[in-house]
Structure 1
Amino acid sequence: MKIKDFTNAGLADNSVVAPSEPVAPVAMTTEKQNVTEEIEIQAENATEEVMVAPTNAIQSDTPTFDYADSKDLYKGLGKRPKRKYEKFEDIPAEVIESFKRKYGRIFSLTFQSDKFIVRTVPRDIYTQGMLNSTAELTQEDLAKEHVDSRNQRIYTRQEFFASQIVLWPEDAEWLLRENAGYAASITDEAILRSGFEIPTSEEL
């Protein structure tokens, strides 16, 4: 990040701004001096009041968030697994080939700080995700099609699909919880690569 210093903006290096004409001192009577001192005291008192009030008003006891101390974020996941291969570049070619033999088409997804190996979504996992995402909703919710209900199903499906199709890294589920957009991005890309893209058609 570049920070521009405006302290001496518009001035050449080592330049000094001098007044056009010297200012002659003005004699001040005792009465004027007393009035001036009183004004300065009032101004100082007013400044202290202004400074104290906002300071007390903005005090907050909100703690800073730390992933390591958050139990709710990782609830139900247990102990975070250690990666066999810390970086994508460390994964041997034979491991990639074994993924292909077992899962068919696979691809990599790269985010700014994390990389995933992902498979396409097979029909059985797709069906399971679409059906199970509505299992906990009441018939009333389904009938009324509340916005909250629809949104909840979308989020549930994204998390389910992402957890089922990521092949590497081993701690993918922890990353999905730490980064709000990963589940959605991974699911969207995998769905498109699983036959949901718009096909081209040609009349015969």
Structure 2
Amino acid sequence: MEHKHPQTSLSSFRSPVKTHVPQRVDTSLFFTISVYLLNCSADNPCTGPFGERFAASMNNISFVTPPSLDILQAYYFGIAGVFERNFSRKPPNEFNYTAENLPANLLTPSFGAQVRVLEYNASVEIILQGTNVLAADNHPIHLHGYSFNVVGWGYENFDPNKDPSRYNLVDPHEETTVGVPYNGWASFRFRAYNF
């Protein structure tokens, strides 16, 4: 079943007050968002569809909460072994994110507590790309500790050659949560001043 979406211009979404959107980007991140089915087991029972359970991932990594200490405590107190600093700036595999019948090797994520540590006061752009790995969906994403400016969004795969030229860098709306469109993408910018 093919889904058609109207091409909505970001010019219709403007902030009623002056915003301070970063014009220059120090850190650019591209994250894919996917939904999976994981097998249930005697150690991990569940009653989901087909005897499996839903799971989510970003850049093909499904987050596992560290058992002993939270990540911020480990970071501030320099405690090793709680998390890894190697969360990828982009997906490990590039593919047609919104295509039908994606390859089976994309259906199982890695698991871990991986983070991307940002430089203090860096201007950051994050592009969130929805995928059709198990099923496409509208994904609401919340960023703790910051408000951000939604500078662009669209349907299908993000095109780095043409989509940034349509960003609203003058008066984009400020949010704490953004909905990544069904089989689409959203881009936002913020300054990493919170520590």
TM-score by length of 2: 0.19
More helix by share: 1
Taking CA–CA contacts closer than 8 Å with sequence separation of 6 or more, which of the two structures ends up with the larger relative contact order? Answer: 2
Bigger Cα Rg = 1
More strand by share: 2
